Amino acid sequence: MQLLEHIHVTVDSMGATEKFLLLAMPQLQRRGAGDAEGFGNWVHLGTEDCYIALTEVAGAVIPGELRHIGLVVDDIEGLMSRLAIAGFQSSDESALDSHPHRRRVYYFDKNGLPWEFVQYLSVDSALRND
């Protein structure tokens, strides 16, 4: 059973977060976009099963209570390489090799949204989630 269908975030620059996510996770695709009257410009980035919705509002501020948004990746080294080439530096690599069954790295996009990327090294959920 799939639990999360989507997350919806308001950002100052929709293009900045869209570029970051498509660079970080090339498997994501633009599922739709538009301008909803009274709502603003929006885009849905994702797969057939789930997506990240972005709405652009000038001056939008990221809530201080948002710790991060976590996404699963297959190749964390590839992600880090793509982001480094584009000029992004990780904000925290302390969990990169701190666990035998998962690797994690953290970044901020140009809107200040905090992202965690995790690569699982085991299919055993008991080991991955201890």
Instruction: Answer whether residue 102 shows pLDDT above 90.
Output: yes
Q: Which of 69, 84, 70 is nearest to 23 (CA)?
A: 84
pLDDT for position 63: 85
Query: If residue 72 lies in a helix (H) or strand (E), which one and from where to where?
Result: strand 69-72
∠ Cα 71 76 77 (to 5°):
160
Q: What value does the mean pLDDT take over residues 30-55?
A: 92
Q: What percent of the chain has pLDDT over 70?
A: 99
Q: What value does the mean pLDDT take over residues 70-77?
A: 96
Q: What value does the mean pLDDT take over residues 100-120?
A: 96
Contact indicator for 31, 46 with CB cutoff of 8 Å: yes
Instruction: Answer whether residue 2 shows pLDDT above 80.
Output: no
Instruction: Answer whether residue 38 shows pLDDT above 90.
Output: no
pLDDT for position 1: 61
pLDDT for position 40: 84
* Mean pLDDT, the chain, integer: 94
pTM of the model: 0.92
Query: Where do the domains of the chain lie?
Result: 6-59+67-128
CATH number for the segment(s) 6-59+67-128: 3.10.180.10
